[in-house]
């Protein structure tokens, strides 16, 4: 795997999903906002992970993101600054919180049966 190519690919995906979420918001399509937002966050996290290793196929890469950021904290802070390091923790939190929405948006909410 070429980590730079993978990171760029994931960022392109994330940007596309973000744009679709923004368009859906303008239309008032809340389901599309949630679905596209989740995929944008997931791919943003996987872009960072791919700088250090191959990301998993999980829709919740939060634990992987936390692991690679903790294991590479000095490198990340030296290259990008402490604010980016802390922002990655926030990204992991968003990923964890939004991951269950992927299933609900794709397959429905089992609690509503």
113 assigned to some structural domain: no
Range of the domain at 89: 3-107
Does residue 48 lie within any of the structural domains? Answer: yes
Q: Is residue 101 within 8 Å of residue 34, measured between CB atoms?
A: yes
Q: What is the model's pLDDT at position 39?
A: 97
Calculated CA dihedral for residues 41, 44, 45, 48, nearest 10 degrees: -170
pLDDT of 113: 66
**pLDDT value at residue 8:** 97
CA–CA separation, 111 and 113 (whole Å) = 6
**Domain-embedded: residue 112:** no
Domains of the chain: total: 1
At residue 47, the pLDDT reads 98
The model's pTM is 0.91
Is residue 103 pLDDT above 80, yes or no?
A: no
């Amino acid at each position: 795997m070429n980590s730079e190519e993978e990171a760029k690919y994931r960022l392109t995906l994330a940007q596309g999903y973000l744009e679709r979420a923004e368009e859906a918001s303008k239309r008032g399509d809340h389901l599309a906002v949630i679905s596209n937002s989740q995929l944008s966050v997931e791919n943003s996290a996987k872009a960072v992970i791919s700088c250090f290793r191959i990301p998993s196929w999980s829709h919740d890469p939060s634990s992987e993101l936390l692991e690679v950021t903790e294991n590479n904290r000095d490198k990340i802070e030296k290259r990008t600054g402490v604010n980016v390091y802390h922002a990655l923790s926030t990204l992991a939190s968003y990923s964890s919180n939004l991951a269950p929405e992927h299933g609900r948006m794709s397959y429905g909410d089992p609690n509503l049966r």
